[in-house]
A and B are shown apart, each in its own frame.
Chain A
Amino acid sequence: MAQVISDRRDIEFVMHEQLNAESLSKIHDGFADFNKKTIDLIISEAKNFAVKELLPANKDGDQQGCSLENGIVTTPDSFKRLFALFNEGEWLAPTEDPRWGGQGMPRTVASAAAEYFNGANYPFMMYPGLTQGAGHLVEHFGTKEQKDLYLKNMYTGKWCGTMLLTEPEAGSDVGALTTKAVPNGDGTYAIVGEKIFISGGDHDLAENIIHPVLARIEGAPAGTKGISLFLVPKFRVNPDGSPGEFNDVICTGIEHKMGIHGNSTCSLSLGSKGNCIGTLLGEENKGMKAMFLMMNAARLLVGFQGFACATTAYMYALDYARNRIQGKDLMEIMNPDAKGVPIIRHPDVRRQLMVMKTYVEGMRSLLYFVHYCSDMAKFAQSDKEKAKYQGFVEVLTPIAKGYVTDRAFEVCSQGMQVYGGYGFIEEYPMAQLLRDCRITLIYEGTNGIQAMDLLGRKLGLNKGKPIMDLFGEMQKTLAQAKEIDTIQGYAVKVEAVINKLAEVSIHMGQTAMSDKVLSAFANAHPFQDAAGDTVMAWMLLWRAVIAAQKLEKAKKKDKPFYQGIIKSLQFYTETMLPITLGRFAALMNTSGAAVEIEDNMFPS
């Protein structure tokens, strides 16, 4: 089959018709070159590279995986050439500052490249992805010296980066970490501790690896308040920039995992021989806040990883459903001479494809929108606008990570279902997609932690202004939709759900501050589901407004595409929104059963 990963037409729809990415070229000089033609060329070349190089190495990566022998971590053979090609193409830091070796691309535009790259081979993409993220931390918090020493080599992929938070006793609760930093008296620190589950923690793709490490300076307060951020290279870097002595960062093991076999997940022992030196990045005891710069970006990236698995699964499933002949047409069931039909003719398979279609489209619009908001938060004309868009990014991040990856996994599972037994067989692509997708619900803050962030922090952020602004934005779409005959019926249904979200948000916020706080948090994940459903409905409505407006004058080939967008809205409002209303009803119960039940009432 044609290896497609994504629906190019829909990418262009979101990029140009929904978000008008070209308009970013007018608000920021650095974006001046990104007109529509250039954006399309970037998408073409990203797709080309993804399909020709990244995709063929995906299965290799899965089957060969990584190994640790004699202290050396080896990545899949095909990844080495891939990493060299990727860096030659200068794709590693597309959105970073050109002064430091980035490409200065709008995040909105980079979304399309990220979709193709991650859809083709996201375990590979984690190496450059984490490197960019770690580089961004250096760019933001580094001293001039640190930047000069590390940044260019990181943004060009000569050296790689990681993030070192997790320890055996400090997973979701990062504040519990025990890695120690002792001042050496010369401005540097001696680092001692054990980190686990470190993605790309050690490997053979680059000559050096730069680890941003969370640790506690001796005598600092307990919890997150006493955490500082350090830069710890695998090999120390000489003042002239050349790699020096080994810095006592030892890989003591790599994990055998359900998926993402191509990405090494390492246990790292820092300073076990007393020889690990780090330099402070940012201020003492402000490490957690600094690290959040990388974590927020990483959360969006994880949303993209999940989504990329979903779009790839959808495209495969669609192709399979068109080609697999099985069973008669339901209307011919009594006819003994009737021939088998492609399974896409069966109503139940069509339903599954529609579930995949609506989620994939809604997720794409949402994720690109969040990236668009980050561009605007940085470059919008006024401070007021910047603050508004920054608020959107913050409120939508738990949804873009937590809600999106939950749904993405369901989409992969539906895709496997469409393949029937073949979906479960490793020779076909579905099994790997489903396995690889699963971790996105866990790392970078589990989806439970995301839900608590949404309820506990984001709802009440800045006295609720961001969430109110978001409702304002939704109202604009509703107003437009109500003017259009063909979709106003659906708009009314979406409006009911948006109003319900407003009502339930207030209820949940109040409950979280009452003596029923535990009950509120027992319902945080269901709240994230319902809020996510609502945002999804808003996106699908927004898309349908554009499609409906364009339908009449559309070229012949575009008509079915726009009609399909309106069908997604219809499907979602008729089949999913009633369930969302049910979720809201459940939230109004704010059941306390889960917290009231005594531990001894569970089986012993």
Chain B
Amino acid sequence: MKICVCVKHVPDTAATIKIDGETGFKDSEIKFVVNPYDEYGVEEAVKLKEKNGGEVVIVTVGKPEAAATIRSALAMGADRAILVTTDSQFLDASLTAKALKAAMEKDGLPDLIFTGKGSVDTESFQTQYRLAHSLGIPVVNEVSTLSVDGKKAVAELEVGGGDKQVIEMGLPCVIGATKGLNEPRYPKFPDIMKAKKKKIDEMTLADLGLDASAQGVTLEKLEPVPERTGAKMIEGSVEEQVTELIRILKQDEKVL
């Protein structure tokens, strides 16, 4: 079985991001990591490979620096990688999906595709759907339990209130991984050593016949989140608290 895992190179959420100009940020000053949700995808793919054999290919659309991030995913046990290079961190989801599709078609379509449920930088939650749609295959997002056998996959996702949805679908399909699916491993020291010898195929958008300027969504502006002001605790009995809350909403904040 051939499995592709779409991995995005994103800023570490613990990093302090300094905005630079209108739409840029000082990315040379911060650390990048494998998008945390994609790690669940990598782990699941590697586990399937360990069980059934086959191959795990990392596919990334990102800046050339993403190669270092890809090495971490390779150290977790993936076999090789494809990096479609772009100049921007903020490629829109439709172009990203097109690039992923083109890269996979060029390499040979896989039997199973993993993405994360979303990326922690742009959080647009679209790439997996657009990719599946363009390939004409099923997609399920936020999968927290998965079993794959032969020609089908069964995915479970939490739908709130303790309920679960169980979805069966044919392969190939796209699985958007999330927390709970597994516990991503830390690379073993020997696997870190092996990772550097694994192949990363680099290509540009143009090599895949895609035009970087043909984006449906463009980034207008980045702004820092204003610092949160202190919360106000309302004291008293439940009745007093509710009365005071309504007063605040009406008089102070004028939202009612």
A binds B: yes
Given A3-B14, A33-B196, A557-B26, answer yes or no on A41-B68 (Cβ-Cβ < 8 Å).
yes
Distance between Cα atoms of A38 and B187 in the complex (Å): 13
Residues of A within 8 A of B196 (CB): 33, 35, 37-38, 41
Residues of A within 8 A of B25 (CB): none
Asked if A33 and B14 make an inter-chain contact with CB atoms under 8 angstroms apart, the answer reads: no
Given A2-B15, A557-B28, answer yes or no on A103-B195 (Cβ-Cβ < 8 Å).
no
Residue B75 CB within 8 A of the other chain: yes
Residue A90 CB within 8 A of the other chain: yes
Within B25-45, the residues touching A (CB, 8 Å) are 26, 28-29, 31, 33
Closest Cβ–Cβ distance, residue A133 to chain B (whole Å):
18
* B31: contacting residue among A8, A49, A53, A105, CB under 8 A: A8
Residues of B within 8 A of A463 (CB): none
Residues 188-214 of chain B: 1 if any A CB is under 8 Å from the residue's CB, otherwise 0?
111011011000000000000000000
Asked if B186 and A53 make an inter-chain contact with CB atoms under 8 angstroms apart, the answer reads: yes
Closest B residue to A102 by CB, please name it: B189
Closest Cβ–Cβ distance, residue B36 to chain A (whole Å):
11
Asked if B28 and A45 make an inter-chain contact with CB atoms under 8 angstroms apart, the answer reads: no
Asked if A2 and B193 make an inter-chain contact with CB atoms under 8 angstroms apart, the answer reads: no
Asked if A45 and B187 make an inter-chain contact with CB atoms under 8 angstroms apart, the answer reads: yes
Closest Cβ–Cβ distance, residue B192 to chain A (whole Å):
6
Question: Number of contacts between A and B (CB, 8 Å)?
Answer: 58
Closest A residue to B71 by CB, please name it: A41
Residues of B within 8 A of A38 (CB): 192-193, 196
Residues 113-153 of chain B: 1 if any A CB is under 8 Å from the residue's CB, otherwise 0?
00000000000000000000000000000000000000000
Residues of B within 8 A of A278 (CB): none
Distance between Cα atoms of A557 and B192 in the complex (Å): 28
Closest B residue to A1 by CB, please name it: B14
Residues 1-37 of chain A: 1 if any B CB is under 8 Å from the residue's CB, otherwise 0?
0110000100000000000000000000000010101
Distance between Cα atoms of A591 and B16 in the complex (Å): 53
Residues of B within 8 A of A85 (CB): 186
Q: In the complex, which of the residues B16, B33, B190, B196 has the most CB atoms of chain A within 10 Å of its own CB atom?
A: B196
Within A28-58, the residues touching B (CB, 8 Å) are 33, 35, 37-38, 40-42, 44-45, 48-49, 53
Closest B residue to A555 by CB, please name it: B28
Asked if A89 and B187 make an inter-chain contact with CB atoms under 8 angstroms apart, the answer reads: yes
Asked if B192 and A41 make an inter-chain contact with CB atoms under 8 angstroms apart, the answer reads: yes
Distance between Cα atoms of A88 and B187 in the complex (Å): 9
Interface residue count on the B side (C-beta < 8 Å): 23
Residues of B within 8 A of A53 (CB): 186
Distance between Cα atoms of A85 and B26 in the complex (Å): 34
Q: How large is the interface on A (under 10, 10 to 19, 20 to 34, 35 or more residues)?
A: 20 to 34
* B71: contacting residue among A8, A33, A37, A557, CB under 8 A: A37
Residue A197 CB within 8 A of the other chain: no
Asked if A2 and B14 make an inter-chain contact with CB atoms under 8 angstroms apart, the answer reads: yes
Closest Cβ–Cβ distance, residue A369 to chain B (whole Å):
24
Residues of B within 8 A of A8 (CB): 31
Given A2-B16, A90-B190, answer yes or no on A41-B75 (Cβ-Cβ < 8 Å).
yes
Asked if B192 and A45 make an inter-chain contact with CB atoms under 8 angstroms apart, the answer reads: yes
Distance between Cα atoms of A35 and B14 in the complex (Å): 28
Distance between Cα atoms of A103 and B187 in the complex (Å): 14
Asked if A44 and B72 make an inter-chain contact with CB atoms under 8 angstroms apart, the answer reads: yes
Asked if A103 and B68 make an inter-chain contact with CB atoms under 8 angstroms apart, the answer reads: no
Asked if A94 and B15 make an inter-chain contact with CB atoms under 8 angstroms apart, the answer reads: no
Residues of B within 8 A of A117 (CB): none
Distance between Cα atoms of A464 and B15 in the complex (Å): 49
Closest A residue to B13 by CB, please name it: A2
Asked if B186 and A103 make an inter-chain contact with CB atoms under 8 angstroms apart, the answer reads: no
* B186: contacting residue among A2, A37, A49, A105, CB under 8 A: A49
Residues of B within 8 A of A2 (CB): 12, 14-16
Residues 87-117 of chain A: 1 if any B CB is under 8 Å from the residue's CB, otherwise 0?
0111100100000000101000000000000
Residues of B within 8 A of A45 (CB): 72, 75, 186-187, 192
Asked if B72 and A103 make an inter-chain contact with CB atoms under 8 angstroms apart, the answer reads: no
Asked if B14 and A41 make an inter-chain contact with CB atoms under 8 angstroms apart, the answer reads: no
Closest B residue to A52 by CB, please name it: B186
* A90: contacting residue among B14, B72, B188, CB under 8 A: B188
Closest A residue to B31 by CB, please name it: A8
* A40: contacting residue among B12, B68, B186, CB under 8 A: B68
Distance between Cα atoms of A91 and B72 in the complex (Å): 16
Distance between Cα atoms of A53 and B28 in the complex (Å): 26
Residues of A within 8 A of B29 (CB): 557
Closest B residue to A9 by CB, please name it: B29
Residues of B within 8 A of A89 (CB): 186-189
Residues of B within 8 A of A49 (CB): 186
Closest Cβ–Cβ distance, residue A69 to chain B (whole Å):
31
Residues of B within 8 A of A3 (CB): 14
Closest Cβ–Cβ distance, residue A517 to chain B (whole Å):
49
Residues of A within 8 A of B185 (CB): 88
A-B contact pairs, 7 of them (CB 8 A): A8-B31, A42-B189, A45-B72, A48-B72, A85-B186, A89-B186, A94-B189
- B residues near A (Cβ < 8 Å) are 12, 14-16, 26, 28-29, 31, 33, 68, 71-72, 75, 185-190, 192-193, 195-196
- A residues near B (Cβ < 8 Å) are 2-3, 8, 33, 35, 37-38, 40-42, 44-45, 48-49, 53, 85, 88-91, 94, 103, 105, 555, 557
Interchain residue pairs A-B with the least CB separation, the first 10: A2-B14, A90-B189, A38-B196, A90-B188, A557-B28, A89-B186, A103-B189, A49-B186, A89-B188, A41-B71
Contacts A40-B68, A90-B188 given; 6 further ones with Cβ under 8 A?
A: A2-B16, A33-B196, A42-B189, A89-B189, A94-B189, A103-B193
